[in-house]
Structure 1
Amino acid sequence: MIDFARVQKELQECSRDVEGSGIRVSPKSDNLSCLIGTIPGPLGTPYEGGVFQIDITLPDGYPFEPPKMQFATKVWHPNISSQSGAICLDILKDQWSPALTLKTALLSVQALLSAPQPDDPQDAVVAQQYNRDYQTFVGTARYWTETFAMRSALGVEEKVQKLVEMGFPEALVKSTLEAVGGDENLALERLCS
């Protein structure tokens, strides 16, 4: 059984430190077992300037079992599937401890962006590029970050206007954009589903 009191505490801890860490975690709906995490791309990496969304599902055994995490934002990285967003990280598997929190797990994922482990890849194609042609890897990772993880140059009002013109109610558009951190594409996906 998920310890929902602990999950609430962890969400509060994350929201208190958003300014410092840039890491956010919020419920996708009323169900606290389905969350969305947001991490900023680490400085000095091809992911810098990007904001990455991570789907988090808490298993019944949480916090004694690790949360299930996968990137919702497409990312070019040897330890993250470019197709499914699956993450190859030990603390999300056999190295999990109940002493860890959602925030520490997201910090570890963010650290993984800074320090790829191409010898233990989740995506063999990306790992091969990383090892054989590092400059092309950096260029591709940067391109994917700019394409999928950077907030659109449109301001919030323009995004709201654009989505309202598609026939969605303004209040729903605003709350959906807020829930997905301003990502227009994710907001459209949610509004359509």
Structure 2
Amino acid sequence: MANIAVKRIKREFKEVIKSEEVAGGAIKLELVNESWTELKGEIVGPTDTPYDGGRFILEIKVPDTYPFNPPKIRFMTKIWHPNVSSVTGAICLDILKDQWAAALTLRTVLLSIQALLSAGEPDDPQDAVVAKQYKENYQLFQMTARHWTNVYAGGPNVITEFNNKVQRIVDMGIDEHRARVALSTFDWQIERATENLFS
């Protein structure tokens, strides 16, 4: 890996470790396999959002051309958000694409991703299904996002009604995650979700 990238990452790693956000437990960064090109990030869901109380793990791959090109980042923790793929964890965020600047750091990127959780952009979605729900039934979107945060990120909000519906479909022999995706996609209507799963 290019020396310039390694030096820069080492410096930024220290910056994150010393930051007030780390002290407050809002963000975290660690090395994977002692490599400076593969990192694991963690962000805490912002308060007053459906992600509140959840801990979200991010995979961070840093290219040799860093800091001139952005790191490749995706959510490892499943999340229901219009700008994150509910399937792959890919993130739609301008600074990770065409608005990247060499002055940005891993700390600012983690904080930007955290800020994205506070303010979704459904008009520039990564996940069209989530964006549609966000725009057409915001309250249901919030409940679904809270449910996913509880199940996948350890968030505190248990939505018993949703858990019961998932269980009903699991009892029909469908994998739990597939059942949850189908229900989330079809606005928690069991009939439509099962129709889709068994068609």
Q: TM-score, normalised by structure 1?
A: 0.76
8 Å Cα contact 2:79/2:149 also seen in 1 = yes
Cα distance in 2 between the residues matched to 1:9 and 1:59 = 16
1:133 matched residue in structure 2: 137
Shift of 1:21: 5.9
Structure with the greater alpha carbon radius of gyration? 2
Q: How big is each residue's C-alpha offset from its partner over 1:65-114, in whole Å with a ceiling of 9 and x where there is no partner? A: 00000000000000000000000000000101110000100111001000
1:147 matched residue in structure 2: 151
1:84 matched residue in structure 2: 88
- What SS does the corresponding residue of 1:33 show, helix, strand or coil? strand
Pairwise mapping of residues 1-193 of structure 1 onto structure 2 (< 5 A)? 1=2, 3-17=5-19, 18-20=22-24, 22-150=26-154
1:161 matched residue in structure 2: none
8 Å Cα contact 2:149/2:155 also seen in 1 = no
- What SS does the corresponding residue of 1:54 show, helix, strand or coil? strand
Cα distance in 1 between the residues matched to 2:155 and 2:15 = 25
- Matched pairs, number: 152
Shift of 1:12: 1.1
1:173 matched residue in structure 2: none
1:182 matched residue in structure 2: none
1:164 matched residue in structure 2: none
Which runs of no fewer than 5 residues in structure 2 stay unpaired?
157-199
Q: How big is each residue's C-alpha offset from its partner over 1:7-45, in whole Å with a ceiling of 9 and x where there is no partner? A: 111111111121136211111112110000001100100
Which runs of no fewer than 5 residues in structure 1 stay unpaired?
153-193
Cα distance in 2 between the residues matched to 1:48 and 1:151 = 7
Cα distance in 2 between the residues matched to 1:107 and 1:90 = 14
Shift of 1:151: 7.0
